[in-house]
Amino acid sequence: MNATSLAFSLRDMTGEARTFPTGRPSLICFVKEDCNTCNLAAPVLEAFHRVWGDLADVWMLGQSADGNAILKDRHGLTLPILDDSALRTSLAWGFDIVPAVYWIGADGASRAPLEGFVRQEWEALAQQIAEELKAPGAPLAWADLPDWRPGCGSKHLDPDIHERLLAEAQGSPIRARRIEIASADDIDEFMFDQGFSDGLPVVPPTPERVLRMLSGTTRDPQDIVAVVPPNMAPATVEKIAINAVMAGCRPEYLPVVIAAVEAVCTDEFNMHGVTATTMGASPVLVVSGPIRHRIGMNMKLAALGNGNRANATIGRALRLVVRNLGGARPGGVDRSTLSSPMKFTMCFAEWEEGSPWDPLHVERGFQRDDSVVTAFAMTSGPVQIVDQESRKPDQIAGTLGLGLEGVFLSKIHHMPVDALLVVCPEHVRTLMSEGEYSKARLRERIQAVTSRPLREMVSNDISGAGISLASAAKMTEAQLAAPAPKFANDKFIHIVVAGSDAGKFSAAFHGWVTGAAGSAVVSRKIDC
Amino acid sequence: MTTILDPTDERVPVARQITPRTGDISGVIGLLDISKPRGNILLDELERLLAARYPDVETRRYAKPTFAKPCPTDLRLRIKSECSVLVEALAD
């Protein structure tokens, strides 16, 4: 071991910087205050300092600033006590146990340290030092000291901080806790056992893969993107990247995952409520803008289903972030009665080029060139709306309305609940067959065809759901006859276009409790 | 050895996988001293008791180089190949 490779500059208790190597022989001892053996060693070191201080530097390096002050007072120390509470020097010197004492002779070479206290070793070292310095021995009553005392684990090896120190020393951007899985263990089984998985295999998030994933964003790995409910855990870019690796994402998907985490972790989206509800709500992500093409998202054939890596893994990465960081697990905060396969993943892109309308993100106030992810809290979907016969625009619009009547329960109307309607290209063509058919007109048509007299919502023998008999009894005939559309307001009907050229099958996602008491739709621009 | 990064908020320590307990004492019993002071004394006594109560059982002694670090892979694999059960002495 060469002293120059162990160079440090640390402050002593007077604030003076002490630099090693000093150019003189040195005795360097690492200690921590709450270690009994270090307290045994401190007066011995003090004796060394007093007898050899003119010829050699006898320094004690303490692992906490408060502890140093206590040690000084407790033992009346006059030797320099240096502050290594940052533990960087402890890490660099690489011992395991304190006290760890190093003698660096005039030749600058250091032997392996003495760790703990073995009287015979310390006494031999004292003799060696005296000989090398041609100085008298330390006036210590060695026989009064115990034969040996085990030391304590050095602070820099504390599992809570060791990896961070190591990463800092290596200049690595990674700060997450490293988990070592023995080669005899099955890594996939291990990750299942740890509860890291949604029930399907996950890709092991090795440091190499996470570093590659981090190359997908320019953001600092330690930036906190959001605080994830229900545990209110800070989600750093690095932690999101780890979960994105596990989900199977490619690095270029990472900005979408980050934006999605931002979106669902807002107060408006209310990820806690979405997780906890017995209705089994889950985020449904719609990606808009140029990034759809850049990362190869599917917006056409089978857009809402399996088979596309970006669609599948972006949605899954979000779910894993909420599960692993937020702690949202079925049976824990997730209390879904039945839940939904959307809790594995639900993400797709809008086929903006196949749509006659402004895409979703433009409708929501973004620029067409922006890439945006929009999160909806949905409890059901995609529910097919089948119409292969209608040839007139109003007929198709009417069908889409009737298809949406099933949100929650077809009987219930005037609902302040979001729905996401995914219109397939063939239905779009029929809608446009006689000219422009705006989204506003489609929403009006949906509301018109689903309008039913309020009377039909009153509890009856077929279904007790709806307006209670007691409430109905207080209503006038005119009130009961008033038509009630499915949705309390047109704004609850969200419309996008996706799907293959062939097939007259649209679909709808049904919402959860919408608004301040539940969840609002949230869009976030993707930083790319 | 594979290293992965923790995907959680790190509030909970990583749980160790526990090998299923055998429920009986037979075969070769490994006695692992992790090199904490006096661990050998505990294991000496345990070895004596095992020999007295289970004369058919063979015991083998192992020691980790240091308690401060995980068991070296070579030693772990050796213990695994030579023993049916392992008792690890932890404390000072």
Residues paired with residue A9 on neighbouring β-strands, in sequence order: A19
What are the φ/ψ torsions at residue A64 (nearest 5 degrees)? -150, 145
Contact B3 A178 (CB under 8 A): yes
Residues paired with residue A228 on neighbouring β-strands, in sequence order: A233
Of A500, A485, A333, the residue nearest A424 (C-alpha): A500
**Which carries the bigger pLDDT value, residue A187 or residue A184?**
A187
Using DSSP's 3-state secondary structure scheme, residue A297 falls into coil
Type of residue numbered A37: T
Contact A325 B8 (CB under 8 A): yes
**Which chain A residues touch B37 with a CB distance below 8 Å?**
148, 150
Cβ burial of A149 (10 Å; 0-12, 13-18, 19+) is: buried
DSSP labels for A39-72?
HHHHHHHHHHHHHHTTTSEEEEEES-HHHHHHHH
pLDDT of res. A377: 97
Q: Is A458 on the interface with B (CB under 8 A)?
A: no
Task: Categorise residue A481: left if φ over 0, alpha if ψ from -120 to 50, beta otherwise.
Answer: alpha
Beta strands in A177-236 (DSSP E): 178-181, 224-228, 233-236
Of B4, B73, B92, the CB nearest to A204: B4
pLDDT of res. A412: 96
Residue A160 has pLDDT above 80, yes or no: no
Above 0.90 for ipTM, yes or no? no
Provide the percentage of residues in chain A whose pLDDT is more than 70.
98
pLDDT of res. A2: 55
Distances (CA, A) of A454 to A153, A446, A466, A467: 74, 17, 10, 9
What is the four-CA torsion angle of A30, A34, A37, A43, rounded to 10 degrees? 70
What is the four-CA torsion angle of A461, A464, A466, A471, rounded to 10 degrees? 80
Of A288, A228, A173, A347, the residue nearest A528 (C-alpha): A288
Predicted confidence (pLDDT) per residue in A417-468, tens digit? 999 999 999 999 999 999 999 999 999 999 999 999 999 999 999 999 999 9
Q: Do the bridges between strand A419-423 and strand A493-497 make them parallel or antiparallel, or are there none, so unpaired?
A: parallel
CB count in 10 Å sphere of residue A367: 11
Of B68, B73, B76, the CB nearest to A97: B68
CB count in 10 Å sphere of residue A311: 28
Alpha-carbon Rg of chain A, whole angstroms? 34
Confidence of residue B17 (pLDDT cuts 50, 70, 90): low
What are the φ/ψ torsions at residue B86 (nearest 5 degrees)? -130, 135
Residue A471 has pLDDT above 70, yes or no: yes
What are the φ/ψ torsions at residue B31 (nearest 5 degrees)? -120, 110
Residues paired with residue A286 on neighbouring β-strands, in sequence order: A348, A374
| Spatial CB neighbours of A34, under 8 Å, sequence gap ≥ 6 | A67, A152
Predicted confidence (pLDDT) per residue in B26-75, tens digit? 899 999 998 888 888 999 999 999 999 999 999 999 998 877 666 788 89
Domain boundaries, chain B: 32-89
**What residue in A sits closest to B2 (Cα-Cα)?**
A181
Of A183, A233, A239, the CB nearest to B73: A183
Specify the residue for token string 């038509």.
A483
Q: Do the bridges between strand A178-181 and strand A117-118 make them parallel or antiparallel, or are there none, so unpaired?
A: unpaired
What are the φ/ψ torsions at residue A411 (nearest 5 degrees)? -70, -30
- Give the pTM: 0.72
Buried b (16+ CB within 10 A) or exposed e, B17-45: eeeeeeeeeeeebbbbbbbbeebbebbee
Residue A202 has pLDDT above 70, yes or no: yes
Residues paired with residue A514 on neighbouring β-strands, in sequence order: A519
Predicted confidence (pLDDT) per residue in A109-151, tens digit? 777 899 999 999 999 999 999 999 999 999 999 999 999 999 9
Question: Distance between CA atoms of A215 and A205, rounded to whole angstroms?
Answer: 15
| Spatial CB neighbours of A305, under 8 Å, sequence gap ≥ 6 | none
Q: Tell me if A60 sits within 8 A of A42, measured CB to CB.
A: yes
Using DSSP's 3-state secondary structure scheme, residue A361 falls into helix
- Listed by number, the residues of chain A in 76-115 with a beta carbon closer than 8 Å to a beta carbon of chain B are 96-97
**What residue in B sits closest to A97 (Cα-Cα)?**
B68
Mutate to test the interface with B, among A177, A186, A188, A196 (most CBs of B within 10 A): A177
Q: Is A248 on the interface with B (CB under 8 A)?
A: no
Contact A178 B92 (CB under 8 A): no
Using DSSP's 3-state secondary structure scheme, residue A384 falls into strand
Q: Is B74 on the interface with A (CB under 8 A)?
A: no
DSSP state of A307: S
Q: Tell me if A278 sits within 8 A of A337, measured CB to CB.
A: yes
CB pairs < 8 Å spanning A and B:
92
Question: Distance between CA atoms of A202 and B78, rounded to whole angstroms?
Answer: 31
Distances (CA, A) of A36 to A31, A62, A142, B75: 10, 14, 18, 32
Q: Is A294 on the interface with B (CB under 8 A)?
A: no
Using DSSP's 3-state secondary structure scheme, residue B81 falls into helix
Task: Give me the long-range contacts of A475-482 (CB less than 8 A, separation at least 24).
Answer: A479/A454, A480/A453, A480/A454, A480/A455, A481/A453, A481/A454, A481/A455, A482/A453, A482/A454
**Which chain A residues touch B92 with a CB distance below 8 Å?**
150
Structure tokens at A441: 């007109």
Q: Is B1 on the interface with A (CB under 8 A)?
A: yes
Of B7, B37, B77, the CB nearest to A242: B7
Contact A179 B68 (CB under 8 A): no
pLDDT of res. A184: 80
